[in-house]
Amino acid sequence: MRKMIVVALILFAHEGYAAPCSPLLNRTIITLQGESVNLCEYADKPILVVNTASKCGFTEQFEKLEVMYEEHKKQGLLVIGFPSNDFNQELSSNHEIAKFCKLTYNVKFPMSKASNVTGNNTNSFYLELAKITDEKPRWNFHKYLIARDGKTVYSFASSIKPDSVEVMSKLLPMLK
């Protein structure tokens, strides 16, 4: 029995061990560039999820999001944007959104294809985030921070900047 426990601990500690994927993360996101992002690959890592819009007063947050991503991605952070026209401030096509993000803010973090984050046609990921936090996005650039356990989710209003004390005090302890 003792030998089995030691073997199990060794396997658990092995670098190749994959953390179990929570139901929240058990999904694949298709980016504006047509690439797949399997969120299970980010199990045991913090994920900052943001609904975005290209023509919003909060659009300058793209800069801070990109800086956060570049500074902390080696420590495990994934920033992922979800463009949405739910508040009538997004460009009309995925191609235009991708071009705007790249040319205006040099966004390198993954951006999903445009989808709804509120209303009757809300994408399933946002439905789950809203259910867990009991908070739906009320405007563009609402942020959800998914903890390393893949279950705990913090919600931040649009007016709270990505590099704010509120966000960073939750994020920094999660980084490796």
Residues with catalytic function: 56
Other Cβ atoms less than 10 A from the Cβ of 171: the count is: 20
Distance between CA atoms of residues 11 and 5, nearest Å: 10
The torsion angles phi and psi of 41, rounded to 5 degrees, stand at -65, -15
Distance between CA atoms of residues 150 and 165, nearest Å: 22
Contacts of 87 (CB under 8 A, 6+ apart): 53, 56, 139, 140
